[in-house]
Amino acid sequence: MKSVLDVAAIKADFPIFEQSMRGGKRLVFLDSGATSQKPRSVIEAESNFYYTSNAAVHRGSYLLAERASEAFDGARSDVAEFLGVDSEEIIFTKSATESLNILAYAFGNPRSARCVGPGDEIVLSELEHHANLIPWQELAKRTGAVLKWFSVQEDGSLDLSNISSVITEKCKIVAITHQSNVLGSIPNIAPIISATHAVGALFVLDACQSVPHMPVAPRELGIDFLAFSGHKALGPTGVGVLWGKSDLLDGMQPMLFGGSMIDSVTMTDATWADAPKRFEAGVPNMAQAVGLAAGLKYLQSVGLEKIHEWELQLTKRALDGLREIADVKILGPQSLEQRGGVISFVIDGLHPHDVGQVMDQFGVAVRTGHHCAWPLIRKLGVSGTTRASFYLYNDMSDVDVLLESVTAARDYFRKR
Amino acid sequence: MELDSLYQEVILDHYKNPHHKGLPTGAIQVHHVNPSCGDEITLSLAVSNGIITDLVWDGVGCSISQASSSIMSDLVVGKSVDQAFSILDEFSALMASKGAMVGNEDVLEDAIALAGVSKFPARVKCALLGWMAFKDAAIQADISWRREQ
Ligand SMILES: Cc1ncc(COP(=O)(O)O)c(C=O)c1O
């Protein structure tokens, strides 16, 4: 069978794989759900910015400042093109966490066009990462709004049977993940989006785990806001994206105030520029934005459909293999339906930390613990999980080493 | 294998059969968590006349955190708070040593088996979880005993 991706060629673009791990083992990086590795083109785009174009954007009247502005604005239009939206709708933040906090702050500010108040409802799900949970908890506490949520089911999907009682006329905001960072499940958001709009509420999509791994088109989904992190999408750390519909963004109050985000300022008052500038106070993360644009270009050149398909092939082999290892329990979706390339599992009687430690001896990098989704972990009735997450640079032999290391972890503690 | 220096026999023994583990019911109770991995411990102890007379803990965690709590309990029960704190200082120094120290067996007893942990920076917090809970509880118990006198 011909492989969907030329993984050997892809891997060669990622310098991190050139070194060896403990005991001379090669790196089997299965933690892209936490952060992705970077291709040379991203590292070079970021450092080239410093070598050739570094100056504060939109300020100086000199050549370098023009170059910097061009590079930064260019990065914004590249991100917009990647998502199929307008440039003015793309806000560069420092992370998805910041993107989501900007929204939660705006909706708590009575001077925003849309603001939640006492008794209004905010709807989440039990799948949420802390970054798409705590900002909303805090918003509810500040405003007297009420938090509601969809429950997760054994297979990692959301229970939508009570959708009409969860999303009611009191609902103002629904914020849900596009893919669970713990279980890999892709919740069925289409009916939730319809229900949200039917009551005039706004839908926020946490696309951290989807945008880097599959085609995501906010306009086609019919959502209002979307957040993702650059560092999970081959980009540098320190840059994230908030997308929102222009008319909504222009009615929102910013979270940070300072230079570059103003329209006019006096000693006692100030007015704001339109989005995106309104939400980008201070000298922005220019080199990181440029690096992110290079990362997204890399993903486009490989093809997001293909990346998703490849990750599912890796996932299938991993699921089949894990199922054969006695004492291993896979949590969440057991099939390839409605899922991405993230697998959480536990080994009976063993703590994930100990499992991960043995796997490390094989050069395998996995995440262990609660994955910043503590309520979900509690609901699953475990103290934590071991999570393997795949990306375009993983190949079938990575899956084989994963399986070998899981077996070894089980045996290491059984024998003794 | 490098792993064997981390998971010494003594550690796995304590992990499988932890000492002083039970239902903490004392008046002085503390609850500590390791927020990065979700490990938790609840620990209660009694101090009388400056001596740690009783200690019970319960918790969920990896082999290192469980074994370390068990070993710590053995070490501090029956000791004075001051003695226990100097053991704790010595153990903390060992954990911070990045593999450079072997530990003084006369003071640390079974805890020297945890020396290997210091080579794995991500695991040092696991080893210290129970000890930090103990420190917190001992300070409170000591103050409370003095107040009652
Ligand atoms: C689903 C999800 N949401 C939000 C975040 C937060 O992203 P960041 O830490 O880059 O802001 C993550 C990262 O782990 C995530 O997986």
pLDDT tens digit sequence for A62-90: 999 999 999 999 999 999 999 999 999 99
Chain B: nearest CA to A361, how far in angstroms? 8
What does the block give as tokens for A253?
């109050």
In the predicted model, is pLDDT for residue A310 greater than 80?
Answer: yes
User: What is the rounded CA–CA span in Å between residue A93 and residue A229?
Assistant: 9
Residue range A177-220, pLDDT digits in tens: 999 999 999 999 999 999 999 999 999 999 999 999 999 999 99
Indicate whether A143 and A246 sit together in one domain.
yes
In the predicted model, is pLDDT for residue A1 greater than 60?
Answer: no
In the predicted model, is pLDDT for residue A415 greater than 80?
Answer: no
Q: What is the ipTM of this complex?
A: 0.90
Residue A205 lies in a domain: yes
Residues near A323 by beta carbon (within 8 Å), at least 6 away in sequence? A330
pLDDT score for A322: 98
In the predicted model, is pLDDT for residue A95 greater than 70?
Answer: yes
pLDDT score for A339: 97
Indicate whether A72 and A85 sit together in one domain.
yes
Residues near A241 by beta carbon (within 8 Å), at least 6 away in sequence? A79, A90, A91, A92, A93, A96, A99, A226, A227, A228, A229, A230, A292
As a whole number, mean pLDDT of residues A134-143 equals: 98
In this prediction the pTM is 0.94
Q: Which domain holds residue A366?
A: 7-30+303-414
User: What is the rounded CA–CA span in Å between residue B73 and residue A163?
Assistant: 51
User: What is the rounded CA–CA span in Å between residue B114 and residue B127?
Assistant: 8
Give me the residues of chain B with pLDDT under 70, please: 1
pLDDT score for A260: 92
Q: What is chain A's mean pLDDT, rounded?
A: 97
Residues of A annotated catalytic, as ranges: 372
Model confidence band, residue A416 (pLDDT cutoffs 50, 70, 90):
low
Structural domains counted in chain A: 2
pLDDT score for A376: 97
Taking Cα atoms as reference points, which of A398, A258, A378, A408 lies closest to residue A317?
A398
Residue A35 lies in a domain: no
Residue A267 lies in a domain: yes
Query: Is any ligand 1 atom within 6 A of the Cβ of residue A229?
Result: yes
Put simply, whether A405 touches B (Cβ < 8 Å) is no
Put simply, whether A415 touches B (Cβ < 8 Å) is no
Contact B142, B47 (CB under 8 A): yes
User: What is the rounded CA–CA span in Å between residue A261 and residue A258?
Assistant: 6
Indicate whether A268 and A392 sit together in one domain.
no
pLDDT score for A367: 97
User: What is the rounded CA–CA span in Å between residue B136 and residue B149?
Assistant: 21
pLDDT score for B142: 87
Domain boundary among A300, A328, A360: A300
Element (DSSP H or E) covering residue B139: helix B121-148
As a whole number, mean pLDDT of residues A84-105 equals: 98
Residue range B118-132, pLDDT digits in tens: 999 999 999 999 999
pLDDT score for A159: 98
Indicate whether A136 and A190 sit together in one domain.
yes
Residue range A263-308, pLDDT digits in tens: 999 999 999 999 999 999 999 999 999 999 999 999 999 999 999 9
Domain boundary among A300, A321, A336: A300
Put simply, whether A368 touches B (Cβ < 8 Å) is yes
Indicate whether A172 and A67 sit together in one domain.
yes
Residue A348 lies in a domain: yes
Indicate whether A277 and A170 sit together in one domain.
yes
Domains located in chain B, CATH noted? 2-143 (3.90.1010.10)
The alpha carbons of chain B give a radius of gyration, in whole angstroms, of: 15
Indicate whether A211 and A313 sit together in one domain.
no
Query: Is any ligand 1 atom within 6 A of the Cβ of residue A132?
Result: yes
Chain B: nearest CA to A353, how far in angstroms? 6
Cβ neighbours of A358 in B, within 8 Å: 3
Domain boundary among A277, A300, A323: A300
pLDDT score for A4: 94
pLDDT score for A263: 95
Residue A14 lies in a domain: yes
In chain B, which residue's Cα lies nearest the Cα of A368?
B37
Place of tokens 């300070």: B139
Taking Cα atoms as reference points, which of A102, A149, A158 lies closest to residue A124?
A149
In the predicted model, is pLDDT for residue A2 greater than 70?
Answer: no
CATH number at residue A406: 3.90.1150.10
